């Protein structure tokens, strides 16, 4: 069984990304930590790199940086994504630019990164790809809550699971696995975007959301990171094309 020794992690400054980077470093992995807004914290084993992973030229720069650091990266953990900044609670409020922005942020970015980083993995006969989907890929009942643009977000996360499943089938013979992780409600510390949106909801809505989770609580970034990192391990070598929910049995 082979564990990864090097990984490219996108969305590395967010709560799940930061937890993932920390856990990878603890396990002896060297990380190229990518984020668009701010440079991830520099630490032993981590090279921060600012890039917009929806921009083909900047993704090409990521690939060059990875080659300089690793030769070939063993793994891609694609966490960057989201529902955008503009609220669109329903179909009528979702204009084409919102739709395209959210699809690009989640799906096109995955395509660009895999097109840049997977071919060298094929050549070395080993690789791991993990993408971040969401349980909202199957839709959300009731009023819009913490997700800015719910309809395109659900569509994008569903597309990402299909993309990942097909990539797994296309690359399995080359020693590459591709899996998706689908978190449910993950709340960070005070001041994080999702936590602020959750706290701004009416009390009854917060109670309703938590009541829909059989585990009785939201998840943590560390719990999601644990699964992401497990899927990079040798023990997960026969898990391929899966989408794994991390949601306290909510889905």
For range 162-182, the mean pLDDT = 98
Structure tokens at 57: 């030229």
Q: Which CATH number fits the domain that encloses residue 79?
A: 3.40.50.720
Q: Which of 49, 153, 163, 198 is catalytic?
A: 153
Q: Does 184 reside within a domain?
A: yes
For range 157-178, the mean pLDDT = 98
The model's pLDDT over 127-163, given as tens digits with 9 standing for 90+, comes to 999 999 999 999 988 777 778 899 999 999 999 999 9
**Domain count of the fold of the chain:** 1
Q: What is the pLDDT of residue 43?
A: 82
Lowest-confidence pick of 19-28, 61-70, 183-192, 216-225: 183-192
If one compares 89 and 166, the residue with the highest pLDDT of the two is 166
Structure tokens at 195: 């936590």
Q: Does 137 reside within a domain?
A: yes
For range 166-180, the mean pLDDT = 98
Backbone angles phi, psi at 229, to 5 degrees: -70, -35
Structure tokens at 96: 């084409």
pTM, full prediction: 0.94
Q: Does 251 reside within a domain?
A: no
Name, in order, each residue with C-beta under 8 angstroms of 137's C-beta and a sequence gap of 6 or more. 154, 157, 158, 160, 161, 182, 243
Mean pLDDT of the chain: 93
For range 86-94, the mean pLDDT = 91
For range 62-82, the mean pLDDT = 97
The parent domain of residue 208 ranges over: 6-246
Q: What is the pLDDT of residue 83?
A: 87
CB 74 within 8 A of CB 4: yes
Active site residue 238: no
- Report the percent of the chain where pLDDT is more than 70: 97
Q: What is the pLDDT of residue 187?
A: 84
What is the distance between the alpha carbons of residues 172 and 167, in angstroms, rounded to a whole number?
A: 8
Q: 102 falls in which pLDDT band (50, 70, 90)? A: very high
Q: Exposure pattern of 116-131 as b/e (b: 16+ CB <10 Å)?
A: bbbebbbeeebbbbbb
Q: Does 191 reside within a domain?
A: yes
Q: Does 83 reside within a domain?
A: yes
Name, in order, each residue with C-beta under 8 angstroms of 52's C-beta and a sequence gap of 6 or more. 36, 58
The model's pLDDT over 192-241, given as tens digits with 9 standing for 90+, comes to 677 777 777 888 888 888 888 999 999 999 999 999 999 999 999 999 99
Q: Is the pLDDT of residue 97 over 80?
A: yes
Structure tokens at 94: 């979702």
Beta bridge partners of 34: 10, 49
The model's pLDDT over 106-128, given as tens digits with 9 standing for 90+, comes to 999 999 999 999 999 999 999 99
Q: Is the pLDDT of residue 190 over 80?
A: no
**Alpha-carbon torsion angle 238, 241, 246, 251, nearest 10:** -130
Q: 67 falls in which pLDDT band (50, 70, 90)? A: very high
């Amino acid at each position: 069984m082979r564990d990864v020794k090097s990984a490219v992690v996108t969305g590395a400054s967010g709560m799940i990304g930061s937890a993932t980077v920390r856990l990878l470093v603890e396990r002896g992995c060297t990380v190229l930590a990518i984020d668009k807004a701010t440079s991830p914290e520099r630490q032993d084993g981590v090279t921060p790199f600012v890039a917009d992973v929806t921009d083909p030229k900047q993704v090409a720069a990521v690939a060059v940086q990875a080659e300089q650091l690793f030769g070939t990266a063993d793994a891609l953990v694609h966490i960057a994504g989201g529902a955008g900044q503009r609220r669109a609670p329903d179909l009528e409020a979702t204009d084409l630019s919102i739709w395209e922005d959210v699809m690009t942020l989640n799906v096109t970015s995955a395509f660009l990164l895999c097109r840049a980083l997977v071919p060298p993995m094929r050549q070395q006969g080993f690789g791991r790809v993990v993408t971040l989907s969401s349980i909202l890929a199957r839709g959300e009942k009731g009023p819009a809550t913490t997700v800015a643009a719910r309809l395109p977000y659900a569509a994008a996360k569903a597309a990402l699971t299909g993309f990942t499943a097909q990539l797994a089938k296309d690359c399995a013979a080359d020693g590459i696995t591709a899996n998706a992780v689908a978190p449910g409600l993950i709340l960070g510390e005070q001041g994080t975007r999702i936590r602020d949106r959750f706290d701004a909801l009416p009390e009854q809505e917060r109670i309703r959301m938590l009541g829909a989770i059989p585990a009785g609580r939201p998840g943590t970034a560390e719990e999601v990171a644990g699964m992401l990192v497990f899927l990079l391990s040798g023990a997960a070598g026969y898990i391929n094309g899966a989408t794994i929910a991390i949601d306290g049995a909510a889905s």
